[in-house]
Amino acid sequence: MYENRLAVVERFFYALMNKLILVTKNIIMDKTYYDPKDLRKFGKITEWSEELGTKFFDYYGQVFEEGELTAREKSLIALAVSHAVHCPYCIDAYTGDALKRGITKGEMMEAVHVAGAIQAGATLVHGVQMMNKVNKLEM
Amino acid sequence: MAVNTKTSLKKRDSDLANINKQMAILNGEPFSNGELPSFAKKIKDTTDQFPLRPKKLEIIQVNVGYMCNQVCAHCHVDAGPDRKEIMTRETMDKIVNVIKTTGAHTLDLTGGAPEMNPDFRYFVEQASAAGIKDFIVRSNLTIIRANPKYHDLPDFFKKHNIHVVSSMPHWTRGKTDTQRGDGVFDKSIKALQELNERGYGMPGSDLRLDLVYNPSGAYLPGDQASMEKDMKAALLEDFNIQFHNLFAITNLPIARFLDYLVASENYEDYMYALVDAYNPAAVENVMCTNTISISWDGWLYDCDFNQMLDLKIDNKIQHIDDYNEDLINNRKIQISQHCYGCTAGAGSSCQGVVA
Ligand code: SF4
Ligand code: SF4
């Protein structure tokens, strides 16, 4: 009898804990702009503007087809650009795509460094503008 | 996530060693709440193949036991050194009798590591004498190097004109070893070189050597033709190894791969990826439409995957004891959500893509 009651109490606390975890999860979700699950809904953008959405997806599909660049090369470019434009959906998508194509971790990281180097260079090359301005202003 | 599985689910006494638990996951969310359509609904809505039925029987696939020298993280058999399910000579003899009269052209031995069955050589000798056009043994390669008693396997295969199909997940050391266990890569390379020395896999050679690629993680395989091209170039350049064809096989959410998907919180995304990649054109050639799978204890299944989920064929005849090809070919195939693994992209079967 006593053991039974203990089991009931145990179950109650267990249920309460689960509920709490769920509520906390929901609060966190509600306050986050990015939800990884939204990537799956990408196709739904056509629902509010069929013509433009369809045109975009047709174009997108064609861009990634094997062409003068291989699909593999395009995948690596897309991975690097995803980082440069800070798009978490794109990073998820093209990391998966790279693995699928047998692209190695080393190749993936090198592509990200290309994006990083261009971004750093883009910042630093503006240093010339700063230098020009200083040289103009100073006597 | 790197998963180093050291033991089978069964040995770990894991929840998923229970097949009902696996089925509950496959029938649960995101299918039970309607977020994704069940496989049955999907093929009903998109093809004229429902209910799925076999066509002409072409392949008899025999699982001679779940014992294996490896414990690969992605294994749908939950195979390992601790598994004791092993086919007896008595069952083998019954299968040999079936081979004498079957209309199928291919016999496909799988496991576990089929070579670990103590009567493996007996079975190969009897079955090849019974006459079958294409006799496949699915060899994990490392078994050839595992113990001196297996060192002569390449010669044994050659003697019986066995078509060797072997797994080689990726040609960079790191990837193979995370999926299959430490040291697998070097042993596999050595075994492939030995097979090549016997003439296996060489251009124009009748001794067929095909490789199987499974992704080492929660993603689908890439395009089979371009992976074959990449793998051929890399193995030739790095190790002077040649092979005939590459089969890119999708991992199905069963046993250890399912356990991995759930533990790494990839299950839902993986099922979405499979459903997203669903290709109606692949349905009519899924493996179960031309294959029958026989378990170590003689039960009949639509495929090796259904065998692991213990979904026996939906027929009055369910065991090798009562085998009757005409009767069993008239059946509905048992399907569930794991079947999406066979219809993703270009489709997937033990012989690679199907569409
Ligand atoms: S995948 Fe093959 S080699 Fe690996 S444990 Fe399973 S049966 Fe053995
Ligand atoms: S898992 Fe088996 S039954 Fe399902 S589609 Fe694939 S081969 Fe057929």
Mean pLDDT of A134-139: 92
pLDDT at residue A102, as a whole number: 86
pLDDT band at B177 (very low <50, low <70, confident <90, very high): low
3-state secondary structure of B54: coil
Q: Say yes or no: B222 contacts chain A, CB-CB below 8 A.
A: yes
pLDDT band at B2 (very low <50, low <70, confident <90, very high): very low
pLDDT band at B175 (very low <50, low <70, confident <90, very high): low
Least Cα separation, residue A108 to chain B (angstroms): 15
Least Cα separation, residue B108 to chain A (angstroms): 28
The CA B295 to ligand 2 mean position distance, Å, reads 16
B154 near B180, Cβ under 8 Å? no
Bridge partners (DSSP) of residue A63 are none
The CA B308 to ligand 2 mean position distance, Å, reads 12
Instruction: Tell if the CB–CB gap between A100 and B172 is shorter than 8 Å.
Output: no
pLDDT at residue B182, as a whole number: 65
B304 near B63, Cβ under 8 Å? yes
Domain ranges for chain A:
1-32, 70-139
Model confidence at B1: pLDDT above 50: no
List of residues 6+ apart from B140 with CB closer than 8 A: B68, B69, B70, B113, B166, B167
Distance, in Å, from the CA atom of A72 to the CA atom of B165, rounded to the nearest integer, reads 27
Distance, in Å, from the CA atom of B142 to the CA atom of B183, rounded to the nearest integer, reads 9
The amino acid that residue B353 corresponds to is V
What range defines the domain where residue B137 resides?
9-342
The DSSP H or E segment spanning B246 is strand B246-248
Q: Is residue B347 part of a domain?
A: no
Q: Is residue B153 part of a domain?
A: yes
Q: Is residue B355 part of a domain?
A: no
pLDDT at residue B4, as a whole number: 44
- Kindly report, residue by residue over A41-94, the tens digit of the pLDDT: 999 999 999 999 999 999 999 999 999 999 999 999 999 999 999 999 999 999
Which residues sit with their C-beta closer than 6 Å to ligand 2?
A: B 286-288, 302-303, 305-306, 333, 335, 338-339, 342
User: Nearest Cβ partner of A40 from B170, B217, B272?
Assistant: B272
Instruction: Report the sign of the C-alpha dihedral through residues A60, A63, A66, A72, in that order.
Output: negative
Q: Whose CA is nearest to atom 1 of ligand 2?
A: B339
- Which ligand sits closest to the CA of B169? 1
Q: Is residue B349 part of a domain?
A: no
Least Cα separation, residue A44 to chain B (angstroms): 13
Instruction: Tell if the CB–CB gap between B276 and A100 is shorter than 8 Å.
Output: no
CATH topology of domain A70-139: AhpD-like (1.20.1290)
Q: Which ligand 2 atom lies nearest to the CA of residue B252?
A: 1
The CA B53 to ligand 1 mean position distance, Å, reads 29
Distance, in Å, from the CA atom of A94 to the CA atom of A102, rounded to the nearest integer, reads 12
Bridge partners (DSSP) of residue B301 are B293, B312
pLDDT at residue A30, as a whole number: 60
CB contacts of A102 in chain B (<8 Å) are: 170, 222, 227, 230
pLDDT band at B186 (very low <50, low <70, confident <90, very high): confident
Bridge partners (DSSP) of residue B168 are none
| Most B-contacting residue of A41, A66, A100, A108 (CB-CB within 10 A), to test interface | A100
Mean pLDDT of B62-78: 94
Q: Whose CA is nearest to atom 2 of ligand 2?
A: B303
Distance, in Å, from the CA atom of B9 to the CA atom of A104, rounded to the nearest integer, reads 30
pLDDT at residue B168, as a whole number: 80
Nearest by Cα to B317 from B305, B306, B303, B301 = B301
Domain tally for chain B? 1
* Tokens of residue A15, six digits: 């249920």
- Which ligand sits closest to the CA of B138? 1
Which CATH number does the domain housing residue B245 bear?
Answer: 3.20.20
B198 near B155, Cβ under 8 Å? yes
Name the average pLDDT for chain A: 88
Q: Is the CB of B140 under 6 A from ligand 1?
A: yes
- Kindly report, residue by residue over A83-98, the tens digit of the pLDDT: 999 999 999 999 999 9
Q: Say yes or no: B229 contacts chain A, CB-CB below 8 A.
A: no
Q: Which ligand 2 atom lies nearest to the CA of residue B302?
A: 3
Q: DSSP readout, B155-167?
A: HHHHHTT-EEEEE
Q: How many CA atoms within 13 Å lie on the side-chain side of A47?
A: 5
Q: DSSP readout, A14-56?
A: HHHHHHHHHHHHHHHHHT-S--GGGGGGGGGGGGG-HHHHHHH
- Kindly report, residue by residue over B257-272, the tens digit of the pLDDT: 999 999 999 999 999 9
List of residues 6+ apart from A92 with CB closer than 8 A: A36, A39
The CA B333 to ligand 2 mean position distance, Å, reads 8
Distance, in Å, from the CA atom of B92 to the CA atom of B239, rounded to the nearest integer, reads 38
- The interface pTM score, or ipTM, of the predicted complex is 0.71
Q: Is residue B348 part of a domain?
A: no
CB contacts of A96 in chain B (<8 Å) are: 219, 273
Residue B62's Cα: distance from chain center in Å? 11
Q: Is residue B351 part of a domain?
A: no
Q: Is residue B168 part of a domain?
A: yes
pLDDT at residue B162, as a whole number: 97
Instruction: Tell if the CB–CB gap between B222 and A104 is shorter than 8 Å.
Output: no
